[in-house]
Structure 1
Amino acid sequence: MDNIFFESWTKVGHVALLTVISFVTLFLFIRISGKRTLAKFNAFDFVVTVTLGSVLAYMMLAQVSLTEGVVVLFLIISMQLLFAKLSRKSKVMEKLLNSSPKLLFYKGIYLESSMEKESVTKEEILASIRQKGIENIDEILAVVIEANGDLSVVKMYDETTTNSSLKGIKNHDIENFPENGEL
């Protein structure tokens, strides 16, 4: 406990140098890995981000060598890119890595069971509608919670459309939704 506030200027300089090198290394890796690393988070992206931050902290505090830290950063970002590529090519991998969107509100009806599973309140749904600048709730066809947790608001559509963005939403496909609003 003798060195709780200060150990030596050499140690401070060492940590400062490692911080700069670690920061620049992570920045370069993220630039190389592309926009996906910076996209809105799904569960997988959150784990990657927390892991990168943790490794960076260990590198900055010299608890792992610079080489070990760089290797770990490289492997984490490489695995993220690999899993992203696999999820684009495989529906099974896509389902493992990403949750699927869920309908929370449809044609004036709050879908309570979906709201409960996703821990979303009516107030949050209404807030998402207001954020879109929509005052009249009757203008809303649906509100969907996306894989990254965002709430998407879908306005009423022309009844003749056959190309709805709501098609394929798990267990709540538009064609299977009762027109009278009963669930």
Structure 2
Amino acid sequence: MFGTETSGVIQPIVGIALSYLAVILFSRIAGLRSFTMLSGYDFAATIAIGSLLASAAIGALPLWSGLAAIAGLLAVQATVSLARRQSWGHALVDNKPLLLMDGTEVLRENLSRAGLIEDDLASQLRAAGATSGEDVRAVILETSGDVSVILGEGGFDRLDPLIARGVRR
């Protein structure tokens, strides 16, 4: 019915549609955490799912194999999420947030440990609206790789314990 040129166009369209619907179904089953970027493993899983989805959609990987791999990856991600609820799983999977700036003090050793330089820190301070070091209470490199800039007076020791929990000094 379709010539080879037409089927070459239809196959990716059908593949994309089926893959997209399958990912929606899988994410509904796996829950809201499926595509969050809260940690490094979340980021890696999201990239891997996107790669598998694209490979299956364009026919570089058989569609059903790609969908099975995505389902398997989401199952592993759900298992890791369950393990994180236990102290051993949390310690195994997650990095701890790292304090980069305590009040006006730049923690250069922590910047170096994180692979950052002061220019990176300055960029984050500007983006947060700091006009001087005096505006900063703390700067924290989060487990997701995001940088949190907490503005206000005082230093890290004046933060609410909930906010400071788990942060390496």
TM-score, length of structure 2 as denominator length: 0.81
Q: Secondary structure at the match of 2:101?
A: strand
Q: Secondary structure at the match of 2:149?
A: strand
Instruction: Give the aligned partner of residue 84 of structure 1.
Output: 81
- Partner Cα separation in structure 2 for residue 17 and residue 168 of structure 1: 47
Letter in 1 for 2:92: L
Offset of residue 104 of structure 1 = 0.8
Letter in 2 for 1:169: V
Instruction: Give the aligned partner of residue 133 of structure 2.
Output: 137
Alignment gaps of 5+ in structure 1: 1-5, 173-183
Instruction: Give the aligned partner of residue 180 of structure 1.
Output: none
Count of aligned positions:
165
Offset of residue 59 of structure 1 = 1.4
- Indicate which of 27, 34, 46 corresponds to 2:31: 34
1:60 and 2:57 matched: yes
Q: Percent identity?
A: 21
Instruction: Please list the CA deviations of residues 43-91 of structure 1 after superposition, one character each: whole Å capped at 9, or x if unmatched.
Output: 2012211221221122112243333222221111121111111102x22
Instruction: Give the aligned partner of residue 3 of structure 1.
Output: none
- Indicate which of 106, 111, 114 corresponds to 2:102: 106
Q: Pairwise CA RMSD of aligned residues? A: 2.7
- Partner Cα separation in structure 1 for residue 141 and residue 40 of structure 2: 14
Offset of residue 35 of structure 1 = 2.8
TM-score, length of structure 1 as denominator length: 0.75
Instruction: Give the aligned partner of residue 12 of structure 1.
Output: 9
Offset of residue 167 of structure 1 = 4.4
